[in-house]
Structure 1
């Protein structure tokens, strides 16, 4: 069988969905990756997967003519590839992929949405104006008997059904895209009291991820005379209007508030050098990759009680710490608590690792994803057989 994966960046497909593609390939199936052009696309060939760049696609574009060209190009790709199943990732790709799949007569479609995204979470005029249109397009895209919607947390499932975007029976919840718990492992050395505490925030540098609160907490601890290192991994996202700018991040780094690493390829290696993973997000996450990677690495986690984040830190004080949104002082207090109590630091990391093994191991997530494929294909086969048997 042939499977097609469609996302708004090749970076996403490579970092979040390559393991699923490799599992399918090892099972004897063909997999093709579809995305806008990018620097990660050429890497798929080394893994035996083909990559088809959509030259016209720009995930930040609102130009109707360009969007029509993108949709037309996607239809041509699907007609040429003729996949048995198309798996779309993110809101925009779910809309475009579902529409293109109908035109190209792709038999089955899985739409995966991690979080509700900028249009549904922002209160800007632009987002409010786009929301009715996107909602109508989403309803059209998801209202298809040949498709299922995969979400990463129950909060998003409730939001989609409450908005009457899709019937509850068409939703499957798979918590996160998974983490390789063999690659991401705890460091064998215990951080003693004399060792400088290192706190990492790894994410797209969007303000809703709590970037400013992280920097403000660093400034507070510096004022308090605390020797704690704040590490920032990630790059600005020019395609998102809520991204911090390159100049702003560089200024934070130049003043010594944070050590900015930019994009990091070797995340397992980086996580072995830090003690805490912080994500003080007030963004509607699916399930944040950085948190489950930090959990698998046995780090103490600090996050908020937001959808997605609460799926990882389920018990405040046991498998992590929860902090109030948009509150740099509360974040700073949490970090001081861990700096003073290294035994708590170790316990939180241990329980986070156990939760990662139990709930977020990518082998479990991949199997649950393949189960969705099997369910959808089986239901379509059964329906087709039933129709053919009618007198």
Structure 2
């Protein structure tokens, strides 16, 4: 395929997510001759998109999504945008862009669609009556959005793929598997573990679904056991998310000196270099970037035995799995790795090898470019 002046449009909720997870892909598309457009909500990352020289479009994506009129307006704005710029290929990233963008692509006759399923969201694990109603609606939206002639749906773990296949939302030949968003290995060097009191780091948005409460409870248990450990929580609350941790909870944890609260940081490589163990007790993920970065930095991982998290490690080789929502098991497993420094070191070495083998950004970008060519040549 000679891409020439073909237009690719990335649609994603937040500009910050585009910059942190898809920027290398957009740069590669431009280098191959595409005219790159990016559509996101307003946010601090818009300037970063413009600095790259991409064409940016603002869409009214709402974080909570509780107002049906706002949601319908988002769909209408997507349809208008697709009509106006007539992209040759749209790459839809995260849940709302996939659902609304897929429907808009059908209405406007977009020829080639890539949908990136980076996790199905907590609606597929919640059990309340409102959650079941939302799940019923979301399933039907997936079926409508993914009914395209030239479609590739990229999954980060097999559980999400099998879930949508079982719901008849797509056909098997449309599914692709790419393990995460990749990592620039030179930016995440493998350095020896620090000496002194062991450090355990969790880096994530401060949401209950990320396992933040379990991490803090594990810190409480380890403190009660008299185990010398420095538990560090990196990230900030997300007021637009219904499962966010409140500022009052953070203040209580800080007052109790259970964890060290570092707030949002963009120097994760340095934070992991200063740690001995990386922890993510999430309830469900696509394939968490934090664990990919931990592997690149050569750090042993403790995470939950759930879709996405278990797929980011090689169990018992690069990290250990614990049951979801089990703070006692989390504390026990962290303690076992603190007490076995040589085992940690071997896991770190295996993690770096895994990152070099499966997560190098160059490999991830090449897989995406192959999908673009396949769709546009068809």
* TM-score bin (small chain): over 0.9
Compute the RMSD of aligned alpha carbons.
Answer: 1.4
Unpaired stretches in structure 2, ≥5 consecutive residues: 1-5
1:16 CA displacement: 0.3
Tell me, yes or no, if structure 1 residue 32 matches structure 2 residue 32: no
1:89 CA displacement: 1.0
Q: Distance in 1 between matches of 2:17 and 2:350?
A: 28
- Output aligned runs, 1:175-214, within 5 Å: 175-187=179-191, 189-192=192-195, 195-214=196-215
Q: Distance in 2 between matches of 1:246 and 1:289?
A: 25
- Output aligned runs, 1:306-317, within 5 Å: 306-316=306-316
Q: Distance in 2 between matches of 1:199 and 1:361?
A: 25
1:31-82, CA deviations, whole angstroms, 9 ceiling, x for partnerless residues? 111111111111112222222111x321312322212221111222222222
Report which stretch shifted further, 357-366 or 321-330: 321-330
The answer to whether the 8 Å contact 2:106/2:145 transfers is: no
Q: Secondary structure at the match of 1:244?
A: coil
Q: Distance in 2 between matches of 1:254 and 1:130?
A: 38
The answer to whether the 8 Å contact 2:198/2:229 transfers is: yes
Partner of 2:134: 130
Q: Could you state the TM-score of these two structures normalised by the residue count of structure 1? A: 0.92
The answer to whether the 8 Å contact 1:191/1:342 transfers is: no
The answer to whether the 8 Å contact 1:42/1:51 transfers is: no
Q: Secondary structure at the match of 2:363?
A: helix
The answer to whether the 8 Å contact 2:187/2:269 transfers is: yes
Partner of 1:215: 216
Tell me, yes or no, if structure 1 residue 252 matches structure 2 residue 253: yes
- Output aligned runs, 1:165-176, within 5 Å: 165-176=169-180
Q: Secondary structure at the match of 1:182?
A: helix
1:238 CA displacement: 2.4
Partner of 1:293: 293
Partner of 1:120: 124
Given candidates 83, 88, 106, the residue that maps to 1:84 is: 88
Unpaired stretches in structure 1, ≥5 consecutive residues: 380-391
Q: Secondary structure at the match of 2:239?
A: coil
Report which stretch shifted further, 251-260 or 10-19: 251-260
The answer to whether the 8 Å contact 1:203/1:209 transfers is: yes
The answer to whether the 8 Å contact 1:149/1:171 transfers is: yes
1:339-367, CA deviations, whole angstroms, 9 ceiling, x for partnerless residues? 22211111111101100110111111111
Partner of 2:54: 49
Cα distance change on mapping 1:239 and 1:123 into 2, 3 Å:
farther
